Amino acid sequence: MGFLLSAGPGTYREIPIAFPQRLQVDDDLYLDALAGALTLTRISEGILMQGSLRVSHLQECDRCLDAFVNIFDVTLAELFTSPPDADKSVFFVDGDGAIDLAPLLREEILIETSYRSVCAEDCRGLDAVTGHNLNREGTSQELLSAVPEIPGIDPRLAVLKQLLP
């Protein structure tokens, strides 16, 4: 970002971001893809970063525990101070004129994934009794009701009967 630091306030540059492959943001955070554009603007305090990135993140569903790819947008608007000024921002342009996007991205992604972490809005989760994934197997009640009633036989036994040759 050295070219921006030496430029006058108001100078800006749009940086396209495209990582179609798996990428490591932090020790415990990997993304499957990242794409978008960031606008970096030179202001008197440093560099203002603004933009929106689309993130693909493989994670576990809170309800059914299946892995799914969560795709969402993160909107970034952050000041990277130069020289570093902790009173104005925790982010800063380092001595080489570079910006480390990872800590900011990590923060935004953890916020996003903490509240949107189901594979689908209508995910049915796990059966409280059997632990089966209800998206695939239905509830035990539904399995019972799918079996035609046979007079004189308890419906639960009817399920057993179907399993017999």
Cβ contact 136:127 at 8 Å: no
Residue closer to Zn ion, measured from CB, 69 or 77: 69
Alpha helices in 25-150 (DSSP H): 102-115, 134-137, 140-145
Q: Establish if 123 lies at the interface with Zn ion (CB under 5 A).
A: yes
Q: Establish if 64 lies at the interface with Zn ion (CB under 5 A).
A: yes
Q: Establish if 61 lies at the interface with Zn ion (CB under 5 A).
A: yes
What span, in angstroms and rounded, lies between the C-alpha atoms of 148 and 150? 6
The tokens for 48 are 């203002």
Q: Considering only 95-103, 113-121, 140-148, 156-164, which stretch makes contact with Zn ion by CB under 5 A? A: 113-121
Q: Considering only 27-35, 62-70, 77-85, 138-146, which stretch makes contact with Zn ion by CB under 5 A? A: 62-70
Query: Please, how many CA atoms are within 13 Å of residue 97, restricted to the half-sphere of its CB?
Result: 8
Give the binding-site size for Zn ion (rule: CB under 5 A). Answer: 5
Summarize as ranges the residues that interact with Zn ion (CB under 5 A).
61, 63-64, 119, 123
